[in-house]
Chains A and B, each alone.
Chain A
Amino acid sequence: MALKRSGTKYDIFTKIALVLVVAIVFFLIILPLLNILIYSTQPTGSAIITNAFSDVVIRQILWNTMKLGLTVAFLGTLLGFIMAYTQARVEFRGKKVLHIVNLVPIISPPFAFATAVIVLFGRSGIITRGIFDWRPTLYGYTGLVLVLTLSFFPIAYMNLLGMLRSLDPALDEAGSSLGASKWRIFRTVTLPLLIPGFAGSFLLLFIESIADLANPLIIGGNYTVLASRAYMAINGDYDIPMAAGYSFLLLLPALLVFLVQRYWAQRKSVVSVTGKPSGRPTVVTSRLARFFLLSVTFLLTSLIVLVYATVVLGAFVKIIGVENSFTLEHFRYLLGGFANAAVRATTFLALMATPLAGIFGMLIAWLVIRKVRRGSEALDFLGMLGIAVPGTVIGIGYAITYNDPVKIGGVTVFPQVAGGAAIFGGAIAIVMVYIIRSSPAGQRSGISLLQQIDPSIEEASASLGASGGRTFRLVTLPLISGALLSGLMYAFAHSMTTLSPIIFLVTPDISILTQKILAEADQGRYGNVFALCCMLIVLIMVIGGLINLLVRRFQVSTDRPLVTGR
């Protein structure tokens, strides 16, 4: 019997929720994208698109973007797999600590990596020059690959770790009972079963790396990619149609790859669901394999620790590597007026967006899995657009759309929310961006959790007389509150650290921490950058912890089995 019930009429709650969701998605993402398309047809915009392959400069930018995306996707997936395999199949001390260290890059500000890597491995790097007397050029392709791989490999790590853990250990046992060696089982059973996971991770990393704007701006040097070129079109050429043109070139492969990735992700669910795992996964015992896996793991983990040590130390010394005397002057400068307003605004706006993004994501998940019959795929896709579309494109789309009131036939259907002249100094546009960028995470975890909850639990509620809204509140929401929590945490951390869409929306009245960090990095004031990163990380940890406590108070424990029968 299919998990989703077909045939019930939509109740009033479902209808309202559907209309609401579609309206929100329209204004938060569809309309800005439509405007990108419209603007890119203007002369300077369409020139970019039509000459994409004939113009040497544009072709080079396109190639740079693809090359970067492919390299990072390959290296990140490989590293993610090695780390995940070590975590799942090798026994050693300090596993849990390692797991946390591997996840840290996901929620940290991207500049932390780029600046720390420059300080450590750049032309006058503490390690490269200080220890090896070697002066490599980091700005450009090499630096970008290094920084982006470090930043994004955790995505592949989590993805593949989940798959490795869901593989039925009986498969390995069956293989060895048929006489296959461990290496042979690894080659012929484990790897083939993980292919969808590899593909999925590769595509996700590709999207993330071609969409990234912060790192190309800081460490890209002359290596121009589509995202940084579109940014320059706005902030250097002051040519909006041109920016729309580059945005279009970036949007196309991003959306295409996103669609392919969804296809792979759906195949994954077919492969990995093998029923209840029984027995214990086999452990790697070969000394050679252990040595290799643990060395890579150790090196990568040390690198991450080193980067964060640099960030923290760098915040408390004058100029790290040059003048290593303790000082609080960076913090004194930042909190003496430079960053106060940004800290307040960023935290406040992120806090505004967090619950909205969490609930919005959950609502879509619930509609997709439980309620909508025809077009649930499309709804799911609409909800994910916020993460599929590169932040740069969203930012430019918002700037085009919301710097004036949205009018249809002369009637204002949506007020001006972006730009200094807008209400609240353009803060609403920033909150909107936070919501649409963060809700997909809640949506994904909500969907995977709802798929595990027996639909008859909700039907039982209905048959006992509870209406659709009541069932959602009393039964569904408590059951998915675990996913809601992780969605909220992610939403908050992501909002606090996001840069690419925000950079187009900051105004004299509303400045945002990540944009302050970029400004300081541009000026080469790395001490301030590190101090800002530290403040950001502390803010995320403290407020994230508070959100955690708050939600847990209202949450029922979800460690009980949610799946009964069937």
Chain B
Amino acid sequence: MAKTTGKLELRALTKEFGNGSEKVVAVKELSLTINPGEFVTLLGPSGCGKTTALRMVAGFETPTSGQVLLDGEDLSALTPDRRPMGMVFQSYALFPHMTVFDNIAYGLKVKKVSTAQIKKEVGEILDSMNLAHLTNRAPNQLSGGQQQRVALARAMVVRPKVLLFDEPLSNLDAKLRAQMRIEIRSIQRRLGITSIFVTHDQDEAMSLSDRIVVMRNAVVEQSGTPEEIYRRPSSVFVADFIGRSNFLSVAEVKKGASRKVTVEASGVKLKVNAHPKALKSAHPHLLVRPESVSVKKSSSSSKSRKANEGVVKNVVFYGNHVEYSIDTPTQTIAAVVSDPVYDEIVPVGAVAKIDFDESRAWLLPSDSAVITSEE
């Protein structure tokens, strides 16, 4: 079901804490338009400003400058309780003195919904989230996953135009986290509520989002679909933050006839896609994900090896894949070979031949170039 309301615009949102010499810029001119029903994740290391940005949207922080607009209406003057938004907190923040039912009914009671209607709506959401058997429990009698579901139900039952998630899964164990990701996404899709999700976990961001906004030091580093962010990162930082990476130093960059660029890395010529700024950068890096590196046994000895061969430093066998780290003359390369063939794993100390999948490689500007070009 496609919604037409719930378009959220952040305009040059800035937040500074403290003053004078102790002034810290938490968020710097964050501009972002989120379409109705879109699921956007703010991703970044701790201290990058993502939570502050979310709290400004919710109204818990007053922006130093900039605006938050919902369907064209400026929310700046509204306190959190007047904004049509639901929030799910990292600590769940369930009211410890109320039952599950009362927790979920709270927002409806505040809105003066009739008792019968409250009963009906809470009952429905409890059923849909498999919480019906917990109706009269107190929050401290619930498991972490159940508390999380109640918090989600409580935020959604008031039918907010926007749902805000502040690292809601970080207190759960890995298995439950994966399960809740799927649940959150399917409910959000079904109801079509515009959502902002804050996390520092790249798996969470990749699996949940329509769009990921990577933040670093108070500014947006890159914004794009999970695939774009993974395959076409705009900087070494983004590439490194999302997934594992090999950054190969390249020599001899040549612009080809097509959009592709010819580079030489580890003694091999590769035709690769490139970031527009990469060609202007003094020291571009070639991003090759470990799973795009193939590894074969080589007959060379460690002394007679060629430029695209290296000595295996470490091998870890995980069953469905093998992880290598291989020392080449120039650098150490990480490689992941999935579904390895029995008896073909290259042992530690042996020489391996490395091949890069040029169709999945990506030429990046070095970070300093990105920063100077933005300023």
User: Which residues of A approach B to under 8 Å, CB–CB?
Assistant: 1, 5-9, 11, 454, 456-457, 459-468, 470-471, 474-475, 478-479, 556-558, 560-562, 564-566
Contact between A459 and B87, CB atoms less than 8 A apart: yes
The binding surface of chain A is classed by DSSP as loop
9-residue interface stretch from B36-44, B78-86, B275-283: B78-86
Among B17, B81, B139, B155, contact of A462 (Cβ-Cβ < 8 Å): B81
CA distance A566 to B96 in the complex (A): 15
A561 to B95, CA, bound (A): 11
Contacting pair B79 A11 (CB below 8 A): yes
Contact B140 A560 (CB under 8 A): yes
Partner-contacting stretch, out of B55-63, B250-258, B284-292, B358-366: B55-63
Q: Are B138's CB and A560's CB within 8 A?
A: yes
Known: A7-B62, A457-B95, A462-B60. 15 other contacts (CB 8 A): A8-B80, A11-B79, A456-B89, A462-B79, A464-B86, A464-B154, A464-B158, A466-B106, A467-B79, A467-B81, A560-B97, A561-B96, A564-B91, A564-B96, A565-B89
In the complex, the answer to whether A564 meets B147 with C-beta atoms within 8 Å is yes
| Chain B contacts for A462, CB-based, 8 A | 59-60, 79-81
Whether a CB of chain A sits under 8 angstroms from the CB of B90 is: yes
Q: Which residues of A contact B92 (CB under 8 A)?
A: 564-565
Residue picked from B86, B97, B138, most chain A C-beta under 10 Å? B97
- Chain A residues, Cβ within 8 Å of B97: 478-479, 556-558, 560
Which 3 A-B residue pairs are closest in the complex by CB-CB distance? A565-B91, A464-B107, A7-B61
Q: Is B110 a contact of A565 with CB atoms below 8 Å? A: no
> In chain B, what residue has the closest Cβ to A11?
B79
In the docked arrangement, what's the CA distance between A561 and B61, Å? 27
| B93 close to A (CB within 8 Å) | yes
Asked if A460 and B140 sit within 8 Å, CB to CB, the answer is no
A240 to chain B, nearest CB (A): 47
**Measured between C-beta atoms, what is the minimum distance from A331 to chain B in Å?**
45
Q: State whether A459 touches B95 (Cβ < 8 A).
A: no
A565 to B111, CA, bound (A): 28
A461 to B93, CA, bound (A): 9
Nearest A residue to B164, CB-CB: A463
B218 at the A interface (CB under 8 A)? no
Known contacts A460-B87, A463-B85, A560-B138; A6/B17 CB under 8 A? yes
Contacts of B335 in A (CB 8 A): none
Q: In the assembled complex, which residues on chain A have CB atoms less than 8 Å from the CB atom of B164?
A: 463
In the complex the two chains form, is A1's CB within 8 Å of B15's CB? no
Q: Contacts A7-B62, A459-B87, A564-B139 given: A1-B51 contact, CB under 8 Å?
A: yes
Asked if B79 contacts A9 (CB within 8 A), the reply is yes
* B171 interface hit (Cβ, 8 Å): yes
Q: List 8 A-B contacts (CB under 8 A).
A: A1-B51, A8-B60, A460-B154, A463-B155, A465-B82, A466-B106, A466-B107, A560-B139
Q: In the complex, how many angstroms separate the beta carbon of B125 from the nearest chain A beta carbon?
A: 14
Interface residues on B, range: 35 or more
Asked, given contacts A9-B62, A463-B85, A560-B140, whether A566 binds B91 with beta carbons under 8 Å apart, the answer is yes
Distance A419 CA – B55 CA, assembled complex (angstroms): 54
Chain A residues near B154 (CB, 8 Å)? 460, 464
**B95-123, CB under 8 A of A: which get 1 and which 0?**
11100000000110011000000000000
By a CB distance below 8 angstroms, the chain A residues around B85 are: 463
Kindly supply a per-residue 1/0 record for chain B positions 172-212, scoring 1 wherever the CB is within 8 Å of any chain A CB and 0 otherwise.
Answer: 00000000000000000000000000000000000000000
Closest Cβ of chain A: how far from B25's Cβ, in Å?
Answer: 14
**Distance in Å: Cβ of B370 to nearest Cβ of chain A:** 29
- Whole-angstrom distance between the Cβ of A482 and the nearest chain B Cβ: 11
A462 to B164, CA, bound (A): 13
> Within the assembled complex, what's the spacing in Å between the Cα atoms of A353 and B95?
31
Contact between chains at B60 and A5 (CB < 8 Å) = yes
B79 touches A457 (CB 8 A): no
| Chain B residues with CB below 8 A from A466, complex form | 81, 106-107, 110
Query: In the complex the two chains form, is B80's CB within 8 Å of A456's CB?
Result: no
| B94 at the binding interface (Cβ < 8 Å) | yes
- Please give the distance in Å from B2's CB to the nearest CB on chain A: 25
The answer to whether A461 touches B138 (Cβ under 8 A) is: no
CB of B140 to closest CB in A, whole Å: 5
Q: Are A454 and B62 in contact (CB under 8 A)?
A: no
In the bound complex, residues from chain A placing their C-beta under 8 Å from that of B17 are: 6
Q: Is B62 within 8 A of A465, CB to CB?
A: no
List residues of chain A with CB within 8 A of the CB of B81.
Answer: 461-468, 471
**Once the chains bind, are A459 and B93 in contact (CB under 8 Å)?**
yes
With both chains docked as a complex, state the minimum distance between the C-beta of A169 and any C-beta of chain B, in angstroms: 24
Docked complex Cα distance between A475 and B98 (Å):
9
Known: A460-B87, A460-B89, A462-B80. A562 touches B106 (CB 8 A): no
